[in-house]
Structure 1
Amino acid sequence: MTAVDIRLDHLAIAQRYAADPDGWPVAPRFDAVDRWYHRLAEEPDYEVWLLTWLPGQGTDLHDHGGSAGAFYVFSGSLVEDTVAASPGGAPRITSRELGEGAGRRFGTRHIHRITNRSNRPAISIHAYGPALTTMTRYRIGAAGLDVVTVERAGAQW
């Protein structure tokens, strides 16, 4: 068995922050209009975000601008829809529900959306490395994935 370097394991980082909610600089808040988020930490090789989700709130299809990462469900449940390219065909979407205590690692080319499809609020912790600089938002078009917009850190979130 190979030892995991916790400094590079984004899921382990997210779990470490989830294990110490008293150490968070802010308490989670819920916004009736959109999901709420707050950066918990910014380190040289990663950053950590706290997000809250009311029922029905979610993201568009997006990537993380070349950053790898992970998310951990602190409370509630979230559904992740992952996009995979199909040679010569429409992109394939795979869904998975992650309940409280579940987490998911992803690589630098990961495209997904996350939604709270349950009837109760959810809280999640997200870790990215390196820190996010851009996020590309997509939609599924006739020819596959179409870029809708590229958002830049510090300017659009």
Structure 2
Amino acid sequence: MSVVKDIHYDTDDLIAALATPWGESALAVVRTGGEGCIDAVAKVFSDPEKLRQAKSNTLLYGSLREPSGDEVDQVVLGLYRQGHGYTGQESVEIYCHGSLPGIERIMELLRGAGFRDAQPGEFSLRSFLNGRIDLTRAEAVQEIVSAKTRKAQSLALG
């Protein structure tokens, strides 16, 4: 007997996911996306107005904070306004320290700000639906990620 997971994608949702492998590392990247994600991340950023007013393709240094004001982590944010990021939607990438408890706290903080966990492949799906990549490129993303040899990676990169 096989079980098929029932997955529903709502492209209007704010989504967040760890973009780097789960595990201890010096740095990790958490990707967020969806209309209004800049304002949602601003709720937990140390300088919300600086984030809201920043131009697209900008890096900002600051910290993420709990509603109590406690610092969660010092981060660099990569800001992509509508039409400029991978999916074509607003996006903020969070470059943070790679400790597992820290990543978990950041994900909890984002959930509290209105994000839900992205489903596997959901960012690529949004990119496809918004015309940022075609189906061939969407399939290549998975091939690049799962490549086990240099040759496989080279073939996937085209």
Q: Is TM > 0.5 for Structure 1 vs Structure 2?
A: no
- TM-score under structure 1 length normalisation: 0.34
Q: Which has the higher helix share?
A: 2
Bigger Rg, structure 1 or 2: 2
Q: Which has the higher strand share?
A: 1
- TM-score under structure 2 length normalisation: 0.34
